[in-house]
């Protein structure tokens, strides 16, 4: 490809809406172009990298015997209705109507349709196991599209589905996928971790995520020295032992004027009610946080969460556990509608399905039977001390919504947790019989009995991978692609107007192509300065830059490694061999 003809305009400035390096660089270097929020066009450079990611994914899926198909993105409503997801996906699905007024949607994921396809064509255990995949465009009306193609509203996913008769079969299919994913992400070349995950709107049981380790990622994960790794959403709290109720002091309400916050309360307790053993701490208090849950059908339902006062509610953990509902603030109008809730002094007395408010009340797992708390007395300026869980109040259950902190113990006893951030690149699920049951996918087993098929579902963010690689593969000057993903093998620059130099570069262009190398040839005429050519080459990020210039008279060209910056002069006659090796 000649730069003089190439459909490319590099930009000097970062796009105004870009925060993360991959977004800035992919736009500036001319890989993608924004059409609308979360919706991007792929330009020739970007499309070439995308195709290389697809190739890796395809090769590794084919290698585990998965077979490629392609579904439409435009889908009818009914199967989604049967599985319950037409409602559950709420505002995240793009919904359209056809000319007859039928409801249709743009597929956000395809479990239902793969299930129906297999049901359509297969009927015996002899046909299984089966694994099908597609690389296809998905649509999700994300609440917060972000970081260019990292979180789009239209994006490309590899999704695959496994079908087995028995649980052991599902386990084997899941492991095969897991290994394929390891190979895919090894080849993509970024640092990643495999973590336990929650299954969210997908349902089902065992699931793991592959996260690219990156400061700019939206996911937080934890790791322990003993090898525990989980998305923070999936971390379970180490529950203290419950305490016998006998002999615990009686609860007593006390005046605590002007203590609507945990800090002000702890300070007041230490002044007015000092403990003998140690000072009061925020962890001795039970804080009750109210939120509104927006159900997929639009209803708003209040939820109260009781947690130790030294921890905040983690929005992502909460969301993961109340999905498919979305979390919204409990606002002034909501308080006005529940006069029994005294802001700043809300206690378990006003909460729970048996209480006057009837508000569902879930507590942190640390609120075990026999634990003693200082908490709101539901009266302005008053708290109750020695309120004992299981004796003085009960909740409607527990919820894992409190933040996880560095140093918290791993649930499997493998040591203190450390926290880091990542980008979700892949997600594998053992769905089990959920969708097969709903859509009646059954086959005859070895004994001629009809049994429900068990399924797995597996996704890779293909377009997201282009951005995730770019998050790693860049420096101050631009992108630095790994060889397997680079849009071209060689970026060839002609440096000078001298006829012999130009002719030499033209010849090198032909020779390199003849050797099977994919070459981007910056043949732009002299009015484009050498400085601009070098800047563009660094921005675009092809791993090897060849410059035909001054040294050509002595039979030399310069070969530069984009990643290390290392330069060396190579004999023109040896160039092809040098580059091939
Ligand atoms: P996230 O938590 O990032 O929203 P998800 O859990 O909803 O992702 P899955 O349904 O598991 O995503 O989809 C499989 C893969 O598709 C993800 O692991 C991710 O790599 C990719 N993906 C999901 N949503 C997007 C998006 N909006 N833009 C780009 N890639 C996406
Ligand atoms: Mg996921």
pLDDT of residue 364: 97
Could you say which ligand is closest to the alpha carbon of residue 464? 1
**Ligand 1 pocket, residue 109 CB under 6 Å:** yes
Residue 551: closest CA among 491, 519, 518, 505: 505
Could you say which ligand is closest to the alpha carbon of residue 157? 1
455 plus 378 within the same structural domain: no
Q: Residue 557 and residue 505: Cα distance in Å, rounded? A: 9
**In this structure, which residue's CA is closest to atom 13 in ligand 1?**
459
Ligand 1: nearest atom to the Cα of 460: 15
311 plus 441 within the same structural domain: no
Give residue 62 CA to ligand 1 midpoint distance, Å: 22
228 plus 256 within the same structural domain: no
**CATH code: domain of residue 155:** 3.30.930.10
pLDDT of residue 202: 52
Number of domains in the chain: 3
Residue 516 has pLDDT above 70, yes or no: yes
Judging by beta carbons within 10 Å of its beta carbon (0-12, 13-18, 19+), is residue 340 exposed, middle or buried? middle
Kindly state the average pLDDT of the residues 503-531: 93
Three-class SS state of 242: coil
Q: Residue 196 and residue 175: Cα distance in Å, rounded? A: 14
Q: What is the pLDDT of residues 257-306, one digit of tens each?
A: 999 999 999 999 999 999 999 999 999 999 999 999 999 888 999 999 99
573 plus 453 within the same structural domain: no
Kindly state the average pLDDT of the residues 400-423: 96
Q: What is the pLDDT of residues 197-242, one digit of tens each?
A: 986 555 557 899 999 999 999 999 999 999 999 999 999 999 999 9
**CATH code: domain of residue 264:** 3.90.960.10
Residues sharing a CB contact under 8 Å with residue 577, sequence separation 6 or more, in sequence order: none
330: in domain: yes
Q: The domain containing residue 352 runs over which residues? A: 252-388
Q: What is the pLDDT of residues 1-26, one digit of tens each?
A: 999 999 999 999 998 888 899 999 99
Give residue 116 CA to ligand 2 midpoint distance, Å: 22
197 plus 259 within the same structural domain: no
DSSP letters, 452-509, are: E-EEEEEEEEHHHHHHHHHHHSEETTEE---TTT-S-SEEEEE----HHHHHHHHHHH
Kindly state the average pLDDT of the residues 493-497: 91
pLDDT of residue 296: 85
264: in domain: yes
**Ligand 1 pocket, residue 461 CB under 6 Å:** yes
Q: Lowest-confidence range among 23-27, 400-404, 490-494, 576-580?
A: 576-580
Mutate to test the pocket of ligand 1, among 158, 315, 464 (most ligand atoms within 8 A of CB): 464
**Ligand 1 pocket, residue 422 CB under 6 Å:** no
E strand or H helix at 351, and its extent? none
Confidence band for 324, pLDDT divided at 50, 70 and 90: confident
Q: Which residues pair with 255 in a beta bridge?
A: 382
Ligand 1: nearest atom to the Cα of 465: 20
Q: What is the pLDDT of residues 42-61, one digit of tens each?
A: 999 999 999 999 999 999 99
Three-class SS state of 425: strand
Q: Residue 54 and residue 60: Cα distance in Å, rounded? A: 10
Residue 562 has pLDDT above 90, yes or no: yes
205 plus 299 within the same structural domain: no
Backbone angles phi and psi of 75, in degrees to 5: -130, 150
pLDDT of residue 17: 86
Confidence band for 581, pLDDT divided at 50, 70 and 90: confident
Cα end-to-end distance, the chain, whole Å: 22
Averaged pLDDT of the chain: 94
Q: What is the pLDDT of residues 363-405, one digit of tens each?
A: 999 999 999 999 999 999 999 999 999 999 999 999 999 999 9
172: in domain: yes
Q: Where are the alpha helices (DSSP H) in 67-163?
A: 78-83, 85-88, 111-121
**In this structure, which residue's CA is closest to atom 2 in ligand 1?**
424
**CATH code: domain of residue 540:** 3.40.50.800
Mutate to test the pocket of ligand 1, among 157, 193, 212, 218 (most ligand atoms within 8 A of CB): 157
Kindly state the average pLDDT of the residues 497-526: 93
Q: What is the pLDDT of residues 538-559, one digit of tens each?
A: 999 999 999 999 899 999 999 9
């Amino acid at each position: 490809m000649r730069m003089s003809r190439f459909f490319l305009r590099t930009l000097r400035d970062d796009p105004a809406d870009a925060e993360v390096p991959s977004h800035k660089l992919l736009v500036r270097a001319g890989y993608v172009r924004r059409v609308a929020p979360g919706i991007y066009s792929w330009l020739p450079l970007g499309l070439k990298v995308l195709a290389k990611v697809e190739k890796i994914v395809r090769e590794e899926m084919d290698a585990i015997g998965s077979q490629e198909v392609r579904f439409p993105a435009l889908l009818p409503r009914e199967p989604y209705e049967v599985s319950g997801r037409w409602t559950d996906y709420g505002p995240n699905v793009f919904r359209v109507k056809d000319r007859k007024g039928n409801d249709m949607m743009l597929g956000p994921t395809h479990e239902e349709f793969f299930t129906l396809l297999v049901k359509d064509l297969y009927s015996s255990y002899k046909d299984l196991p089966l694994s099908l995949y597609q690389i296809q465009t998905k649509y999700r009306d994300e609440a917060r599209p972000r970081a260019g193609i990292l979180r789009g509203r239209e994006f490309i996913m590899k999704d695959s589905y496994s079908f087995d008769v028995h649980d052991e079969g599902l386990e084997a299919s899941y492991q095969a996928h897991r290994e394929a994913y390891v190979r895919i992400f090894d080849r993509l070349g970024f640092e990643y971790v495999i973590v336990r995950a929650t299954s969210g709107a997908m349902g089902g049981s065992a699931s793991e995520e592959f996260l690219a380790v990156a400061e700019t990622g939206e996911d937080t994960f934890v790791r322990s020295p003993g090898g525990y790794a989980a998305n923070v959403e999936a971390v379970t709290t180490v529950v203290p032992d419950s305490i016998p109720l006998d002999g615990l002091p009686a609860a007593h309400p006390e005046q605590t004027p002007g203590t609507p916050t945990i800090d002000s309360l702890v300070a007041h307790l230490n002044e007015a009610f000092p403990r003998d053993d140690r000072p009061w701490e925020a962890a001795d208090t039970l804080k009750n946080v109210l939120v509104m849950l927006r159900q997929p059908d639009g209803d708003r339902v209040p939820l109260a969460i009781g947690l130790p006062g030294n921890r905040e509610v983690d929005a992502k953990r909460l969301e993961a556990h109340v999905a498919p509902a979305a979390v919204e603030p409990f606002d002034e109008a909501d308080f006005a509608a529940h006069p029994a809730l005294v802001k700043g002094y809300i206690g378990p007395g006003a909460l729970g399905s048996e209480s006057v408010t009837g508000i569902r009340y879930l507590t942190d797992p640390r609120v075990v039977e026999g634990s003693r708390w200082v908490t709101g007395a539901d009266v302005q300026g008053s708290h109750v001390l020695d309120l004992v869980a299981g004796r003085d109040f009960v909740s409607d259950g527990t919820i894992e919504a409190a933040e996880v902190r560095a140093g918290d113990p791993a649930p499997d006893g493998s040591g203190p947790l450390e926290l880091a951030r990542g980008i979700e690149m892949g997600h594998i699920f053992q769905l089990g019989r959920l969708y097969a049951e709903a859509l009646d996918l059954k086959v005859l087993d070895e004994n001629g009995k009809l049994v429900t098929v068990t399924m797995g579902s597996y996704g890779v963010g293909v377009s997201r991978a282009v951005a995730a690689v770019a998050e790693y593969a860049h420096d101050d000057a631009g992108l630095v692609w790994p060889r397997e993903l680079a849009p071209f093998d060689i970026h060839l620059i002609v440096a000078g107007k001298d006829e012999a130099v130009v002719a030499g570069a033209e010849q090198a262009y032909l020779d390199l192509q003849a050797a099977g190398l994919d070459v981007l040839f910056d043949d732009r005429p002299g009015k484009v300065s050498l400085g601009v050519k070098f800047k563009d080459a660094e921005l675009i990020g092809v791993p090897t830059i060849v410059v035909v210039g001054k040294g050509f008279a002595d039979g030399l060209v310069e070969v530069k490694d984009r990643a290390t910056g290392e330069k060396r002069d190579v004999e023109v006659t040896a160039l092809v061999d040098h580059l091939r090796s």
